[in-house]
Amino acid sequence: MSEHEPYTHLRAAIDGGITCLDVSFYTPVLAVSVFCVDQVRACLDTSSADGQVLISSTGGGPVTERDIALARELAHAGARSLAECERLYAKRRLRPGFAAHEG
C-alpha cells in the first residue's frame, strides 16, 4: 500500500462578498471528457467519484476568441504536465531500490 493515498480537496471561502472555490484532485482516477452543447459551446469535464469541474464557454454562450485562447492555454498546460510527469517518473525509476509495483 502506498503512503500517498488518493484524495480530493475542496475549499470554499467567502470574503467581503467575493466567493473563491478551490478544487484539487490528488488521484489518477479521473474521467476527462469534452462534449458540445447545442453546437455552440464546448465543455471540458474533469470528474472523480468525489467531485467535478466543468469548464465551458463565457457565460455559457457561444464560443468566443477568449474561449479559444483559454482552450489553447489548457492544452499547452496539459502537454507540459505530461512532460513533467514523464520526466519525474523516469528520474524516480533510475533510483536504486525502485520497485515496479510502486508506479
Q: Give the span between the Cα atoms of 24 and 57, in whole angstroms.
A: 21
- How much is the pLDDT for 32? 94
Higher local confidence (pLDDT), 3 or 5: 5
State which H helix or E strand residue 41 sits in. strand 41-47
Say yes or no to pLDDT of 28 above 70. Answer: yes
Considering the entire predicted model, what is its pTM? 0.76
- How much is the pLDDT for 68? 96
Q: Give the model confidence (pLDDT) of 34-83 as tens digits.
A: 999 999 999 999 999 888 999 999 899 999 999 999 999 999 999 999 99
Higher local confidence (pLDDT), 95 or 76: 76
> What's the mean pLDDT in 9-20?
89
C-alpha separations of 78 from 2, 32, 38 in Å: 25, 12, 26
Cell of 30: 479521473
